[in-house]
Amino acid sequence: MKVLEGESLAVPPLWMMRQAGRYLPEYRQTRAQANGFLDLCYTPTLATEVTLQPIRRFGFDAAILFSDILVVPDALGQDVRFEEGRGPVLEPIDPARIGEFAGKDVLGHLAPVLETVERVRQALPAETTLLGFCGAPWTVATYMVAGSGTPDQGPARKLSMGEPEAFDALMDILVEASTRYLVAQLRAGADAVQIFDTWAGVLDEEGFKRWAIEPVRRIVEGVRAEIPGAKVIAFPKGGGARLKAYAEATGADALGLDWSVPLAAARDAVGGLALQGNLDPMRLIVGGAALENGVRQILEAMQGYPHIFNLGHGITPDTPVAHVERFVQLVRGG
C-alpha cells in the first residue's frame, strides 16, 4: 500500500499472480474437496483456505483473492464451466441477445466470493495486503464471444470491428458489473484491487484506445466515485509502447508489466507511477542462474523507484516450489 502511494522501499513488496494455484500440493488437496473449479470459487471456506496457503508457506506481502475473472459472465447468466485439460468453456453469445445480460443481480450471485473476501481479511496478518480483482472488460468479452480462449482472440476482434454498437453494449454491461463487483470487494475488506487485461496486446491502436483504455478508465472512475482514494493496479499485458497513454488515461495507481517490457522504458514512460512486475515466469521454472540473474536485473533497474515485485504473468503449474522459495529469498536479499 505504501508503494501504491508512490513510496520507494529498499526491499520491494512481493506477491505473484496466480500464487494460489496448482503448483502447490496443498492447493491440489483442497481443490479435490470441491465439485469442480467454480464450486471451489463459490465455497468460501475452501476459497479462503486456498487464498491463505501461499501466505502461510512463503509470507508474501499480499494475498490475492482466489477466484476467476469468468465469475462475472457467470453472474450475468452466461453458461460457464471449466473442463479439466481444456480450461474455461462458455456458451458463445449471440450479439442480438447481448441486452439480456443487462440488469442482472451480479452481486447477489457473487455473494459467496464477497464472503471469502471478508473471511480472508479477518484471517490475514494486519501487515499483509488483501487484493481483490476482476478481469478487464475486453479480456472478459473475448471469452464471452469466442466461448473459450483462442490464440489471437479473433472472434472478439471481428465482432468489435464488424458490429461495434453491439460490442459497445457488451462493454457497457461489463463496465457496470465490474465496477460494482470491485466496489463490493473493497467494502468487504480488500485493501486494493487489480484489473487483469490479459489480452490487451492483441488490439490495434484504435482498438486499444476504445476497448482497453476507455473501459478501464470508466471502471477506475466509477470505483473512486463510490470509494474515494481507492487503490487500483491495472495490468494491460502486451501494452508495450502504449503504456504511457494507458497510464495517463486510466488513472490507475500502478501498472503491471509483462516480461517483454524494458523496465527503463516503462519508468521513462510513466514518470513516478508505481510499477509492478515483471519477472519472466520461465525463469521461475528453470531456477538457478536464470532465476538469480532475472531477479537481480529487476532489482537493479527498479532501485529507488516505487516497485512491487511480481511476475510478468501468472505462475504456471510446473513451477517447483523450491524455486519459489529461492525467489522470495532473492527478492528479500537472501
> Beta-carbon neighbour count of residue 75 at 10 Å?
21
Q: Is 68 a catalytic residue?
A: yes
Catalytic choice (31, 81, 224, 267): 31
Bridge pairing between strands 192-197 and 232-236: parallel
Select which of 143, 181, 191, 258 is catalytic.
143
Contact in structure between 72 and 178 (CB atoms under 8 Å): yes
Q: Say whether 22 is catalytic.
A: yes
Residue 217 catalytic?
no
In sequence order, the 6+-apart residues with CB closer than 8 A to the CB of 146 are 92, 153, 154, 155, 156
Burial (CB count <10 Å: 0-12, 13-18, 19+), residue 4:
buried
Which is catalytic among the residues 39, 57, 68, 210? 68
Distance CA(177)–CA(171), nearest Å, equals 10
CA–CA distance, 293 with 87 (Å, rounded to integer): 33
Catalytic, out of 18, 119, 157, 283:
18
Take residue 233 and report the three cell numbers written for it.
493496479
Find the length of the chain. 334
Annotation marks residue 253 as catalytic: no
Helix, strand, coil fractions of the chain, as percent rounded to 5: 55, 15, 35
Active site residue 168: no
Q: Compute the CA torsion angle 234, 238, 243, 248 (nearest 10 deg).
A: -40
* E strands in the chain: 62-64, 80-83, 87-90, 129-135, 192-197, 232-236, 254-256, 274-279, 307-311
Candidates 22, 81, 210, 224; catalytic one: 22
Report, as residue numbers or ranges, the catalytic residues. Answer: 18, 22, 31, 68, 143
